Amino acid sequence: MNLPDPQAIANAWMSQMSDPGQRQSWFNAAPATEAHPLAAMMQDVGAHIKPDAMERLKNAYLQDFGGLWQEVVSGKTPSISDRRFTSAAWQGNPMTAFNVAAYLLNAKFLTAMVETVEANPQQKQKIRFAVQQIVDAMSPANFLATNPEAQQKLIETKGESLTKGLANMLGDMGKGHISLSDESAFEVGRNLATTEGTVVYENPLFQLIQYTPKTESVNQTPLLMVPPCINKFYILDLQPENSLVRYAVEQGNTVFLISWSNPDKSLANTTWDDYVDKGVINAIRVVQDITGEDKLNMFGFCVGGTIVSTALAVLAARGEQVANSLTLLTTFLDFNDTGVLDVFVDEAQVSMREQQLKGGGLMPGRDLASTFSSLRPNDLVWNYVQSNYLKGNDPAAFDLLFWNSDSTNLPGPMFCWYLRNTYLENKLKTGKLVVAGEKVELGKIDAPAFIYGSREDHIVPWPSAFDSLNILNGKNRFVLGASGHIAGVINSPVKNKRNYWVNDSCKAKTAEAWMDGSTEIAGSWWPEWAKFLNENGGKKVKPKAKPGNTKYKPIEAAPGRYVKVKAD
């Protein structure tokens, strides 16, 4: 089947964005011509829809559009429920409301059109994603000429909002990203990542932070936290009231944390094996030496959990069981269903990256950030285009969005290995991969696991997080939280927000069966995790008075230098 390439669709759309006439005429269902390549490509998509399905779509569209036009002719303002267009500025003018209603109708038609394409699931996912990008980008809210709220502010401020918006846009062009937050409001080490601690070890790949105890006694078994290397660790240590690191310390744990370096050219040849062996396993050795404990409570978040699990499997192959427990938050071990990220991973795209980077080089942090922003374009792109540029507003101070813009690079060989062996070929769970000279068999990790998924996670779908229960052989527990990949995890008990689900009464093999028998509980899931750590923390002991030891002496105060390095 010769379906159009989604990237080509996006490129064609980009070629039209600068021409309002073409944009408007196309979205008003103009006929496909050479001057309208996007419409032509959608016609090509339509060629792969059964004629009877296409006829039904066309008839439904004409009927809906006819009804909409009759409303306008009769003087009735179309009803609009989309949250982007709920203000009086959008609904107070019949023609503005009609423009919105026509956009929503066309968006509905295009979406339905894609759903009837005869293609395999991955092809359809790619087309669906590309069309949704187009639909979101073509919203009338994104253009000054069709945004009555921005026009109203332009008049009220006598042009000042447009001047400020242009200044905001030029400033962001200089920074290389859209400002999602007031970046002057935050500074790592001043009001972010402020949990007291000391860097006790460093190598080119990471710094190891030992946090200062806050309780009179601590669990004998130390906790080693491994954040994702794809972004900065301080998502786990934002401000005191929403810091998972501080919470773990306050619950009576001796907490260590890996702060990954932001790779530059000196780390351009770093591999996945290096992150496992020179990273996590090395950190384990340092923590063992400092605390005198052979076993640790291990923690991994997102790709950090994938790296931790790989490291523990490597050690198990060497005859060592160093984990007293394992915590995995929104982590893939089985990459069978990677959700919307699947649109970015196929043989052609992975091969292209391998040609570019496998022999050495860096995957730029800005490219990774753009990819993740494209997963939620209305929330992370267009919302700020409208507010910052069209209306001239300054973004509010928001710690999580400040962190979101603080991107990190990845070494090319590591990134390519990760793409091919996990996302593309799903080999991690097979027991056939060799990492750091050892066969990786995740089922040989001998430790109870606390596995967490977020119900609305678009990066690690929660059923995929759940599937880790069927790979790890310990006494495992799954907890499901509300919200998404980040907000679901960073849900402190202080604010008593959201809810979570548990199901400890059955041995469900599927996520659906687990959910059917689950119980919903109001508030944060963090206390459930704290209970798990206490159950696997050993006896209570007096905390050590000083960080490090004679071999690993204090280097600098937390959060350390590495986390402050910006991606080029």
Q: In what helix (H) or strand (E) does residue 53 lie, and over which residues does it extend?
A: helix 51-73
Burial 1-27 (b: 16+ CB within 10 A, else e): eebbebeebbebbeebeeeeebbbbbb
Instruction: Report helix angle 121-137 to 6-17, nearest 10.
Output: 10
Residue from 267, 305, 306, 308 nearest 284 by CA: 308
Nearest to 296 by CA among 553, 533, 47: 533
Task: Return phi, psi of residue 150, to 5°.
Answer: -65, -40
Q: Which helix (H) or strand (E) holds 209?
A: strand 206-211
DSSP string, 168-200: HHHHHHHHTS---S-GGG--BTTTBS-S-EEEE
Residue of 229, 302, 416, 506 marked catalytic: 302
Structure tokens at 436: 């750091």
Task: Using alpha carbons only, give the angle 461, 465, 468 rounded to the nearest 5 degrees.
Answer: 150
- The number of C-alpha atoms within 13 Å of 213 and in the hemisphere containing its C-beta is 20
Only one residue has tokens 């009609």, namely: 98
DSSP secondary structure code for residue 158 in this structure: T
- The amino acid at 561: R
How far apart CA 499 and CA 496 sit, in angstroms, is 9
Helix (H) or strand (E) holding 206, with range, is strand 206-211
Return d(Cα 287, Cα 277) in angstroms, integer: 15
- How far apart (Å, rounded) are the C-alpha atoms in residues 284 and 257? 10
What 3-state DSSP class applies to 563?
helix
Triad 213, 207, 546: Cα angle to 5°: 30
Question: CA dihedral in degrees (171, 174, 175, 178; nearest 10)?
Answer: 50
Q: Quote the Cα angle for 566-454-207, to 5°.
A: 30
Known active-site residue 302: yes
Structure tokens at 36: 């309208």
Active-site positions read 302
